[in-house]
Chains A and B, each alone.
Chain A
Amino acid sequence: GEKVEQHESTLSVREGDSAVINCTYTDTASSYFPWYKQEAGKGLHFVIDIRSNVDRKQSQRLIVLLDKKAKRFSLHITATQPEDSAIYFCAASRGVGDNSKLIWGLGTSLVVNP
């Protein structure tokens, strides 16, 4: 079946540095790519998404890049802060508006060291 792979299972950065989490997907028809954050003991929380009609999207310190040729997308967190420490999940879907089709990565545990 189709898959989404997160390349980094863990990532450790120093406060103030940038963090980059990379995901690849197998379904060429994927068109929607959200990112979610999970803090310890809590549920997932939406942080940012990108659709296939653009290749870059920014929301404050978060930047998402999409390379459709390589079937790769990445989350860049700039000027990291300790509160950015969490597990980040990427996902992909071909069904715009239909979350039942979301395929999830396994998550990347980000640790921001003060």
Chain B
Amino acid sequence: EAAVTQSPRNKVAVTGGKVTLSCNQTNNHNNMYWYRQDTGHGLRLIHYSYGAGSTEKGDIPDGYKASRPSQENFSLILELATPSQTSVYFCASGLGGAGAETLYFGSGTRLTVL
């Protein structure tokens, strides 16, 4: 079973502070994704990566940066956190390619920005 681990599970941050959300996958998947989940909006793609050293902007990248230092790790960085970034964040990984679209999700990080 593919494994995606997120840390921390819960985080409380102050407005203007820096927040780093971490994601680790042991599936040797090329592709990794960061989503946020909000009531009324469903899942929205923030950043994604096709492999180590690559990051791409998703649908809502403003206020977020991403880093993929290795095949296994993908981080989401909020340099100056704002209350509007209070949300549940999910990391996912996938092999990618036709016939291999299945995404494997972590358990999520609940971020509260005060």
Contact = CB atoms under 8 A, between A and B. Distances in A.
Interface of A: 32, 34, 36, 41-46, 49, 89, 93, 96-100, 102, 104-107
Contacts of A106: 40-42
22 contacts: A34-B102, A41-B107, A43-B108, A44-B43, A44-B90, A44-B92, A45-B105, A46-B103, A49-B102, A89-B42, A96-B98, A96-B101, A97-B99, A99-B31, A99-B33, A99-B94, A99-B96, A100-B31, A100-B33, A104-B42, A106-B40, A106-B42
A93 B103 CA distance: 13
A32 B101 contact: yes
Given A97-B97, A99-B31, A99-B33, A46 B107 contact: no
Interface string B11-47: 0000000000000000000010100000011111100
B101 A100 contact: no
A78 B16 CA distance: 49
Contacts of B100: 97
Contacts of A107: 42
Interface residues of B, number: 28
B74 interface: no
Q: State the majority secondary structure of interface residues on A.
A: mixed
A98 B48 CA distance: 11
Contacts of B43: 44, 89, 104
B108 to A, nearest CB: 6
Closest 8 CB pairs of A and B: A43-B105, A97-B98, A106-B42, A97-B97, A104-B43, A44-B105, A104-B42, A46-B102
